Structure 1
Amino acid sequence: MLGDIFGIFKDVYSYYKYWNDMKGKEIIIITHSLKQPRKDHDAELINQYFEIEGTIDDVMLLPAGFKLKNVKERYRESKYILYYPLSGTGGRVRPSGEAKFVVRETKEKIISFSAIEQLEFKDVYDESFEPARLPSNKN
C-alpha cells in the first residue's frame, strides 16, 4: 500500500516538474465528442468541442493541476450529413452548419491533470483540424 501511494506521488511530481517550466505559456484544453443526434437519422453527425484557453499561472501538487489566468471557455460544433448513392457504395460528406461562441470568461480557473483529455499550446493550435476527421468531399 505504501508503494502505491509513493507511485502516485512520483507520477504527480513528474507532471509538476514538467509543467512548472511551462509557466506563462498559453494553452488550450480540448474535450471532443462525435455524436449522432437522432437514432433514426444515421446520416447526421455532430463534432462537438469544449475548449478552455488560458495562460499557465501556477502548477500545483495538491490538488494536482494548473492554475490558469485570463480564461476563456468556448463551445464549437460542426454538423455533417453523410450522403450515400443508390448503389450503396462510396459516399460523400457535406458540412451542414457550424457554431462557435464563448461560453464564459474568468480571471482564474484550476484544472486537474486528470480532467485533461487533450491539450495544445495556443501558438501551434490549428482550429480547422478535427480529431475525428471525416472523409473529404472529393467525388
Structure 2
Amino acid sequence: MVDPSVLGPLAGVSESVSEYYEFWKEYKGEEILIRDHSVTLDDDEKGKIKQNVHVIRGTVEDVTSFPPGFLLKDVEEYIELSNVSLLWGANSTTPLDAVGGSEGRQPLRKVDEKYVSFSSIEQIERAEVADDAIEPFRTEDE
C-alpha cells in the first residue's frame, strides 16, 4: 500500500506538469528564443554596465509532459553582448547620458536538436517579437 502522505505532493506535481503542457503545446511549430539575462556593474570602472544574454533559438518540434519541456530543432546558441558606459555630471546622482560600448553576437554552436526543460527556462519569446524588439544602446533607431 502507498503512503498517502507521498501522494499529496506527487498529485500536485502531476497537475502542474499537465497545466504546463496544455499551455506550452500552443508553441509547437513556433520559432522561439529562450533567454538567460545578466546585468552587472564593472567594479573597476564607475558607470560601466555589462549586459550578457545567453540565447537558445530554435523551432519547437514537440512539447513533452514527461519530462516536462521542449524539443527544439534547428537550434542556434549564442551570446548577445551589450556593454555601455553611463556619463555622470559633476556632483550628480543620476547619469546624464549613456555611451555604447562593445556589442555584438558571439555564436556558441548550432545543433539539429536540443531538449530544454521547463524548469531551466528563465525567459521565452517568440522569434518574431524578439526580432522586432527595441534595445537601447544596441538599436540605431533610438
Counterparts of residues 1-139 of structure 1 (less than 5 Å)? 1-37=6-42, 39-91=43-95, 92-126=97-131, 128-130=133-135
Count the aligned residue pairs: 131
**Which amino acid in 1 is paired with 2:30?**
K
- Secondary structure at the residue paired with 1:41? coil
Normalised by the size of structure 2, how large is the TM-score?
0.83
- Secondary structure at the residue paired with 1:21? helix
| Structure holding more helix per residue | 2
What 5-or-longer segments of structure 2 have no aligned partner? 1-5, 138-142
Identity of aligned residues (%): 34
Normalised by the size of structure 1, how large is the TM-score?
0.85
Which stretch of the first structure deviates more once superposed, 97-106 or 26-35?
97-106
Partner of 1:137: none
The 2-side partners of 1:78 and 1:124 are apart by 19
**Which amino acid in 1 is paired with 2:108?**
V
1:44-64 Cα deviation digits (max 9, x unpaired): 111110110111111112211
1:50-82 Cα deviation digits (max 9, x unpaired): 110111111112211010000000111111111
What 5-or-longer segments of structure 1 have no aligned partner? 135-139
Asked if 1 retains the 8 angstrom alpha-carbon contact of 2:81 and 2:106, the reply is no
